Structures are given as C-alpha cells and as structure tokens.
Amino acid sequence: MRDVAIIGIGLSRWGEIWDASLRTLWTEAALAALDDAGLDHIDAITVGCMSPGLFIGQEHLGGLLADELGMAGVPATRVESACASGGVALRTAFAEVAAGLADVVLATGVEKMTDVSGDECTAALAAAADAEVEVFPGATFPALYAMMARAHMARHGTTREQLAAVAVKNHRHGSLNPHAQFRQQISVADVLASAKVAEPLNILDCSPITDGAAAVVLADLATAKRLAKGRPIVRIAGVGQASDRMALQSRRDMTTLPATTAAGERAFKMAGKAPVDIQLAEVHDCFTIAEIVVLEALGLCPAGQGGLQAESGRTALGGALPVNPSGGLKSKGHPVGATGVAQAVEIVTQLRGAAGPRQVPGARVGLTQNMGGTGASTVVHILEVAS
C-alpha cells in the first residue's frame, strides 16, 4: 500500500448561499483545491453528499459534477453515509491512491440545504435516522441528542453550563475563521437564554443549516514531493471507519459511541500513534453534547470527563488539545455532505502553519472525526507532517 498525501485544499463560500447552486459551490471548492495543488488534471473524483435528491431533486452527482468541472470522462463517484458522507468520500479517495488505482484523486463534499423549507430540510435530515423505529414515532435528531445529553448528565454529572461552554469555545474559534458561517462570539448566558429545542439543548447548542462545499487533492507521496512547492507535505497516516446499530434505543449505552471508538482505534493502529500524540482535532460537534462524547470515545479524555474539557480551557486555542479550531460544525457550519472534507481542509491548513490567528503553534499531528446520524457510522483520519 502506498503512502498518500493531501496536496491541495479548497472551500467554497459557506452559509445561506442564495445566489449559487450545488454545482456552482462544488466547482468553487474543486477549482480552489486544484489551484492550490498546482494541477489541471486528476485521475478520479469522489463526491460526498447526503441527500441531493431530497434537497435539490438531483441524483447522479458524479457524472454531473465531473462534466461541470470540464472533466467528463474522469471516473466520478458519489458517496453517501449521512453526515459522514464527506469523511467516507475522503477515505474512498485515499483507498484509490493507496491501492495504486489512481495517482491523483479529487475528494470532495457538498450539500445545498436551503433550497427547501425548514420542514423539508428536517425531513431530509431525518432520513439518516431509523425511519421505522425513530422517525415514524416522531423523534428528531435534536431530540435524540438531547436524550444522549440527559443520560450523560445523569451518569457523569455533566452540567448545562459545560454543554454551553462547547458552543462558546467553538464560536470563539469561528470568529477567527473567514470561512465560518457564524463569526460572532457568544457567552454561556447567551446559550442558556436561547430558544429551547429539546431539553436540555437550546438553539445555540445546535449546528446550523448550511450550504457549502469542500475539496482536497490526494496524491501518492512521490507525486506530493514533486509538487510540494516548499510547503510541508501532509500525509494521511491512519484511517478508520466503523458502524453501529442505527437506532439509539437499540444500543446498550447512549452515553458512548462505539463506532467512533472502533474507527479511532483502527486509525491509531494504522498510524502507529496513540491519543496522546494528537495535537489538535476537528470533531463532529453537530450538537454540543456530541463533542463531549466524541472526545471520550476517541480516548482524547477519560470517560465521563468530556464535559470538563471546554469548561477548563483544555480544548480551546491555547489549551493542551485545541478541538475544532475552525469553529466546528457549530460555528463554521454544517453542509452535511461537505463537513468531513472540510475538517481535513482545516487540519491541513494548521499543519502547513497557515491558519493565521487560529494557528495551533508547532502542530504536526492532527485528527478528524466525522459521523452520521447519532453515530451509526464514523470515519476517523489521522494526518501528520511527513518527515
């Protein structure tokens, strides 16, 4: 298996983008990544996208977007794994290059979520839950994550203020990111006073509806060294993916994420690293409780102590383990199919030392964790500066 590096990164505009279509946003990100890599050709394309049929009435994205990029004829494949679609698209591209099926692959993610009503968007997102035993009886994702939060609070003493501290931290980080959808800082009091969604979660505990795209160019290490242009080469050192039972009610413990733990263990083993080696992470904070349980599941903090991490400052910029320096899903935004790829864009930016005011000093090893639903699918990537 060949070593694989990320040699180009790109993002489109993120937010409620009324003047651009899915294909336009995707092409913005793809062209930016190709320009960053210094390439005008690729061997293959992967597209992470959760629900284009429900959001914009368009399926068959691979062929559509290859043609939009002026690369009709290049193999192009859409990948779906709910909100983990982008991360799985990155893993798929990694596997192609590692196996020698291609030398240069464009891995992308995209979602256009604001072209439908709020109710239609909620219904599209609900398709990532168990339709028969969760959606039909009326459960929504805020309600499911609220149950996880209540269980975590009861078992570990996690407080409402600790949940709010996650949102406060990530908005502070997002205020430094020109790509973030919401760049205003907030306080714990703001979170606690915001509108109720599903007890104990308020609106400021929830990630927003977002339009956007992200792209990275992957290449074998020999090609990466040839095209490095004096920049640090960022290697994908480890990859792990796992799944779990779909319905939250079917799991033994709703305060843990077994698929995230398994995916993390596989990625750490492949990379030859341990949680203590991680210097920064981008994780799936679709709700504030999600960041807390993900950190525990990955072994980045002890079980039951996830609530202390943001509150203590450990996971803030300047702390021992900055988490979501981009602002995360909470502040940067969450165009569901694009999120996993955008996480990799942030880690590469950090490892290149190019993150500006949100730079983590001396960062050489980073992690991304992207999951679908309430954790029924998870993919983890470990990235490092190649020696």
Closest CA to 4 of 266, 242, 271, 341: 271
Q: Which of 152, 171, 179, 334 is catalytic?
A: 334
Q: Which of 83, 206, 286, 301 is catalytic?
A: 83
Annotated catalytic residue 173: no
- Alpha carbon distance 326, 177 (integer Å): 6
What residues form DSSP beta bridges with 242? 378
- Alpha carbon distance 233, 354 (integer Å): 13
Q: Helix 85-99 crosses helix 339-351 at what angle (to 10 degrees)? A: 60
What residues form DSSP beta bridges with 368? 282, 381
Question: Which long-range contacts does 309-317 make (Cβ < 8 Å, 24+ apart)?
Answer: 310/162, 310/165, 310/166, 310/168, 310/169, 311/161, 311/162, 311/165, 315/169, 315/291, 316/169, 316/172, 316/173, 317/172, 317/173, 317/176, 317/358, 317/360
Annotated catalytic residue 286: no
The catalytic residue positions are: 83, 334
